[in-house]
Structure 1
Amino acid sequence: MAEIGVLFDLDGVLIDSETTYTKFWSEIGRIYPTGLDNFAIAIKGTTLPSILEYFPDASVREDITKRLLAFQEAMEFPMYPGARELLQGLKQADIPTAIVTSSDRHKMQLLFRQHPWIPDMITAIIDASQVMKSKPDPQGYLLGAEAIGVPASRCCVFEDSLQGLAAGRAAGARVIGIATTYSRERISPLADMVIDSVADISAEELVQSW
């Protein structure tokens, strides 16, 4: 096998949650207008601290955080078809992997409660608590590459958001765009390859396409 690593975004790539989050953040944008067009879309792929910068009032930030925590507690995190199979294939091929997500640690714990097999399939996890700069800054993906011991230039990033695609490219990684959140045409300029879902590629095909 080639000496490569694979770095996955979470929402919109491995778990089908983007539509649910879009509804939540659209409602927040309605309750607390920011003046930003398509607020729920504009913040996709960014960390909560980055999102809260749009709200200077401390009481508003506190309320949004409480609403988000309650929302996530009640959420389900359905895996996309093919996600588990791809992770299993990469593990069997001894290809190191990491999840690089803007989600916080609490949300990750909720995810693992529903899918306790995930940590066994992943070499490393980089969440919002470990990064100082949100996507599109490449810090998260650079940390992910470091955590799995593979240069970023030898890593493949799976992403769906514009912010995340830009982060993967800025890290110097090969970027595979997943057309779950945006159209193929919208993400194509930021990706080396575009697929409709993780079900469209196997571990073997990924290595062969390198």
Structure 2
Amino acid sequence: MDDDRRISAVIFDLDGTLLDTEHVTKDVLKEVLVRYGKVVDLDKEKKRHGMAHRESTIAIVKDYDLPITPQQYSQIITPMYHEKWLQAKALPGVNRLIKHLRKHGVPYALASNSRRKSIEIKVSSQEGWKEYFSVIVGSEEVKSGKPSPDIFLETANKMGVDASCCLVIEDSMVGIRAGKAANMQVVAVPSIQSESDEYLIADHVIHSFLDFQPELWALPPFEDWVMKALPIEPFHFKGSYENGFLQESSDNGASDLVGQAWGVYFGWVEVDSQERLKIVVDIRWDHCCGAYRRNIQACFINGSESDGQICDELMEVTLVGYIRGFCSKQNLSTDAQIVDQDKSIAEACLDLPAYRHHDILP
């Protein structure tokens, strides 16, 4: 990196970047539209991704020809969102990076198109975040929200750092454009699976925070890898096994895995038969028939899958370690395969205290 562009501070977006708020609130619009006999238009919603609240409510009322004002629409959805936000969780690798920056004295802040009150509700629901984020800027604190650079410039000003020395981390095109307009370096962590090349305007694109390498930005490197793998905050999902793949299942038909769950992971499964197995999975999104579909390849280290006895049985999966990401979406056929080295790493790690203390199934 050019010394003139050395990073001295990090600015995070919030929704879809740090928190899975978009994942837990994705059905709110559907629930409101059904009252008026309308259905969600996914193409329109993708274009609205990252938009400020006021602009978003105006656009939704207009696009769906709703017989209410934007203010009335906002009054309807606000309590619905507040309830959902309490269920939001930090995305994979987020707490790790925040604590790392805090430990090394690297300034960081939140800059969101959400209103300040909404931001504070979301932050307060996460353990420690009220203390972690001393600088927060919301959409009503500047003249124009993203994609205008105003929010990021005001955040840099509040932190007392030069805008050109800030690294922005964003999940939406609206935020990425705002970061570039502010003359900042930008890392994109897309929360929507898309073939669009638009994200390439960012300086770097990653699948999840677990792929983030601070040293690329002259920031202190992570030092928490154990035996060629990374202990992670456990995440859980339910599924059934068939022909080398896990099929997700849940009580309400929605996935428990967020979109940023990419890469090769390992952990434990507990089967209906009460058998407990070590597992390695690669989680990826494949493009098929005009849409993206998640595929989860699975390999049981114990080898029990060969006898076919666990096929179609409901499994509780707990992933506790991360081995690697994928080089690119275009080369998934080769780099998204579980190899012998992945199995060896997983088997060795699952016997270590660094991973065993996470060995708790929901």
| TM-score bucket of the superposed structures, by smaller chain | 0.7 to 0.9
TM-fit CA distance, 1:121: 1.7
Pick 1 or 2: higher relative contact order, CA cutoff 8 A, min separation 6.
1
Off by >6 Å, runs of 4+ in structure 1: none
Which residue identity lines up with residue 56 of structure 2 in the other structure?
I
Aligned residues: 208
Q: Is the 8 A contact 1:9 1:99 kept in 2?
A: yes
Residue 38 in structure 1 maps to residue 33 in structure 2: no
Q: Is the 8 A contact 1:25 1:40 kept in 2?
A: no
Of 17-26 and 147-156, the range deviating more from structure 2: 17-26
Give the corresponding residue for 2:114. 103
Residue 61 in structure 1 maps to residue 35 in structure 2: no
Structure 1 residues 174 and 29, CA gap change in structure 2 (3 angstroms): farther
TM-fit CA distance, 1:19: 3.2
Question: Gaps (5+ residues) in structure 2?
Answer: 1-5, 221-362
Question: Gaps (5+ residues) in structure 1?
Answer: none
Q: Is the 8 A contact 1:12 1:160 kept in 2?
A: yes
- Decide which of 71, 80, 85 is 2:80's aligned counterpart: 71
Residue 16 in structure 1 maps to residue 25 in structure 2: no
Give the corresponding residue for 1:82. 93
Give the corresponding residue for 1:149. 160
| Bigger strand fraction | 2
Structure 1 residues 192 and 70, CA gap change in structure 2 (3 angstroms): same
TM-fit CA distance, 1:59: 4.2
Report the 3-state secondary structure (helix = DSSP H, G, I; strand = E; otherwise coil) of the residue aligned with 1:175.
strand
Greater Cα radius of gyration, structure 1 or 2: 2
Measured in 2, the distance between the counterparts of 1:206 and 1:22 equals 33
Report the 3-state secondary structure (helix = DSSP H, G, I; strand = E; otherwise coil) of the residue aligned with 2:187.
strand
Report the 3-state secondary structure (helix = DSSP H, G, I; strand = E; otherwise coil) of the residue aligned with 1:40.
helix
Report the 3-state secondary structure (helix = DSSP H, G, I; strand = E; otherwise coil) of the residue aligned with 1:45.
coil
Measured in 2, the distance between the counterparts of 1:43 and 1:14 equals 19
TM-fit CA distance, 1:145: 1.0
Q: Is the 8 A contact 1:44 1:161 kept in 2?
A: yes
RMSD: 2.8
Measured in 2, the distance between the counterparts of 1:141 and 1:184 equals 27
Give the corresponding residue for 2:9. 5
Which residue identity lines up with residue 99 of structure 2 in the other structure?
Q
Give the corresponding residue for 2:55. 50
TM-fit CA distance, 1:168: 0.5
Of 151-160 and 116-125, the range deviating more from structure 2: 116-125
Q: Is the 8 A contact 1:26 1:40 kept in 2?
A: no
TM-fit CA distance, 1:10: 0.6
Structure 1 residues 73 and 21, CA gap change in structure 2 (3 angstroms): closer
Measured in 1, the distance between the counterparts of 2:96 and 2:122 equals 18
TM-fit CA distance, 1:88: 0.8
Q: Is the 8 A contact 2:171 2:188 kept in 1?
A: yes
Structure 1 residues 37 and 29, CA gap change in structure 2 (3 angstroms): farther
Which residue identity lines up with residue 73 of structure 1 in the other structure?
H
TM-score (structure 2 length as normaliser): 0.51
Which residue identity lines up with residue 125 of structure 1 in the other structure?
I
Of 199-208 and 125-134, the range deviating more from structure 2: 199-208
Which residue identity lines up with residue 65 of structure 1 in the other structure?
S
